[in-house]
Amino acid sequence: MTPMAHSIQMGKISPRVKYLRELASIRITARQMLADARRGASKNFKIHNDKIKSAAEFVAHVTLDQYPDLEIPFHSRWRHFEISAENSESGNDHSPRNLAYELIGDPRRAVGAGARLDWLTRAWDLVMVSVLLDAGAGDLWTYRDQATGLAFRRSEGLGIASLRMFQSGMFSMDPSADPLRVDALRLSHLDPAELAAGFQITSENPMAGLEGRANLLRAFGEKLLRPDYEMDPLVRPGDLARVALDGSRNGVVAIPTLVSQLLIRFSSMWPGRTTLDGSAMGDVWAFHGAGMGSPAPNYVPFHKLTQWLTYSLAEPLIATGIQISGLDQLTGLPEYRNGGLLIDSGILELIDSKATAVAHRPDSELIVEWRGLAVALLDEIAEEVRIKLERPDLELAQILQGGTWAAGRRLAAEKRGVLAPPPLKIESDGTVF
């Protein structure tokens, strides 16, 4: 029996827990929340449907500005390992340099099943740790990369910093002989001080949520070594590439199956989250009235970081020529750039205008509803963008990259200045956004 098909104690997973871990439940619940808001049932937002087309036109404009040939890569962690063409030494080649591919090698050179699996294992090692470190860093933090002489902030800074930590061997049990790997045992004993040094954190360069990030990596290492249910322990996070390939059908990796495995294996590592029927739920939140008629009323699933991780795992699969299916079942990512686009473009109007003045917990009804509406409205914006660009074939992952995330950042900068904070303030613990 392959590891992907390994027996799981499904009797311990209740029907409503199983439902909330299905990708389809995210869209079903989000669309119900949007329908409720449209009929005036929301306590937090008014919906201005007439703003959707203009927001989509702005997204299409930003997409063409960034990708005039509409050759748009996926929205994934791999974009945050890139540096712009003007800073590269690539002569007439205007494509960005991807520092990660420069470090771990070109996947097209991984010839043969063994070489392909080795490359994928290393790529998944890097990107899984990097994604788990990718939560809001705050407005004051900057990473200065000695190798390029460039300074990076926010997601790009977190990406480059995590890449350099990986390069240094920080996550390897043998950093001298084999630095470019991640070992579960090493993660399980990671000291926050090591992360602080890797992120260049000082009193003058503070970062939000350092302790949360360190705790999350330690918990991640523990769950690899000692997983919940009857699942095989793994030495490295990248070993999940073997699990995915062994569980594929006719060589095609099903994205929903990959998400399911990630959620079953890792949901309990998220700190302080909802527990339902004895199962830790991860990025699932209580919201009165949501999901009515479903097996799990009053709960809203997002699984944002798991989906972000899955987008980021799909890219190296495709890069090595492996086929995938079901990518379109992933949703738009309910985070502050996409959510900010909806408020800044006028699609969403806060009923309480004073809500922008204070910070909100991730479990507050305001933030949960904001995220739910983002999932549903991103689908509607995406359809309008496809029409505007005359590209019905564009994947949601491309529209996010082209796209909604960049448009959200641009509008934030126009409205609130160069530091571009989101329109709603969120109390970050380093594990949600």
Place of tokens 């002989």: 177
Q: Beta-strand (E) ranges in 162-224? A: none
Q: Which two tokens stand for residue 219?
A: 């918990």
Helix/strand/coil percent split, the chain, to 5: 55, 10, 40
Which of 428, 355, 380, 410 is closest to 31 using CA atoms? 380
**pTM as predicted:** 0.90
Reading the chain (433 residues) residue by residue, the pLDDT tens digits are: 333 433 334 447 899 999 999 999 999 999 999 999 999 999 999 999 999 999 999 999 999 999 999 999 999 999 999 987 544 333 334 578 899 999 999 888 877 888 899 999 999 999 999 999 987 777 789 999 999 999 998 889 999 999 999 999 999 999 999 999 999 999 999 999 999 999 999 999 998 888 888 999 999 999 999 887 778 899 999 999 999 999 888 889 999 999 999 998 888 888 778 889 988 898 999 999 999 999 999 999 999 989 999 999 999 999 999 999 999 999 999 998 999 999 999 999 999 999 999 999 999 999 999 999 999 999 999 999 999 999 999 999 999 999 999 999 899 989 887 667 789 988 876 566 5
What is the β-pairing status of strands 359-360 and 348-350?
unpaired
Place of tokens 């502050």: 336
Q: What is the dihedral of CA 260, 262, 266, 271, to 10 degrees?
A: -90
